[in-house]
A and B are shown apart, each in its own frame.
Chain A
Amino acid sequence: MRADHAYDHDESVPHTHPEPGVDPHPPLPRLDRAVRIGIGGPVGSGKTALVAALCRALAGELRLAVVTNDIYTTEDADFLKRAGVLDPSRIRAVETGCCPHTAIRDDISANLDAVEELEDTLGPLDLVLVESGGDNLTATFSKGLVDQQIFVVDVAGGDKVPRKGGPGVTTADLLVINKTDLAPLVGADLAVMDRDARARRGTLPTVFQSIAKDPHASQVADWVRHLVAHRRGDAEAHGHDHADELGRGPATAGMR
């Protein structure tokens, strides 16, 4: 553990797993377009906070834009702008007709249109984050819409969530267990969540984080950086995969 890290660490927070060196996914296809990452998860698990944290961490180094399927008010836009996180012109809201699942999985046309409109108006992008509407554990993104997906659950939702599984927890490219700072308050056992997530996800990575303590979501930001570098074909990104990156990057400073 690096003592010089910017945020405090709780020794009880499990480390990111699986062990470095194994990535079960084939590399992203080299396409001449932005990396698209879906961010899904139940209502209140912290999807929007994660989007804001990623924007905070990456807006200065990547050309990025956000498509949100959540109910998005001008107050939300103002909040992100005031926080210096992202200019409203880089955010598109998509109406889902009360079907948040459908819009990201079965009929992705409105989201594809939103991504294309952003690319048309802003020019080439490195990264598009697609935030799903708040949903339950069964929501997943179509591969026609995103390259990789992050599923966000929080400890306040109960430590049995990883055990319940569901496509989000089981198959997401990255599982984020959020609000670890609340674990003692809600009586959630992070070790149980860690064990269940491993059981459900096999070799797929999981991150435990607290945006309250780490406002830049450092581990997730590094995972994203790696994907973007990989898409660009950066030589540096070759030779190790994202699990490797997660295992070695500065973000792991917070891990045991």
Chain B
Amino acid sequence: MRALARIVAEADGRGGTRLARLRGEPPLQLRHTPDGSAAATVHLIGSAAGPLGGDDLRIEIEVGEGAVLCVRSVAASIALPGRDGSPSRTTVTATVAAGGELRWLPEQLVAAAGCRHLASSTVELAAGARLLWREELICGRHAEQPGDATVSTSVDYDGAALLRQSLTVGPGTPGWDGPAVLGGARATGSLLTVDAAAPPAPPAVLGATAVRMPLTGAATLVSATAPDAHVLRGYLSTGERSPYGG
């Protein structure tokens, strides 16, 4: 199944944000969920399970000058194998203008047994744009070996590379759950914060397998591995809450 969702957020001129475009198609449904703040919050409402092998899902996001957009999802997405063994793909492209802010805080991606999934995100930030970007990957449903999944994130700030990360898990990659990569952890993820106005946070140890790291540039990355999704979320908490939990 192929689907395209598109979100365009603009400053409404009264200190808030309006959604100039909000368009989805099954299985990528979008819902504006106003929370009374200056930010526009959009929830992704996926189907019960998916993406499925063969799916090609695209999400395009534009955040204009001075607009604040928060994107969440109502439930974890579960990458599942298709009938013919073809891979599934989720592609997110986002641009954020100066003074704009994007908070990308969806629920976890679960790599179910047998899946072949590629989640790929490209974010272009203008100088002065802000970003909060969380990725959480769970290796398999309860007590199951995962399939092969790659979560790839590329962020540019003011035209220069800020972050390039591609994490692959699953039996197709030798050593993926070994002591150099996940050390047997079932959950891993990161939270990227980009804000040129905030002083860069110094390195810090947040837990036995969680650290905060300043990148080269006005950005900080929290990276963690954890035994489960709950512990992982504790490390990657933003202090905000979704009306749907998380």
So, do A and B actually touch in the complex, CB under 8 Å?
no
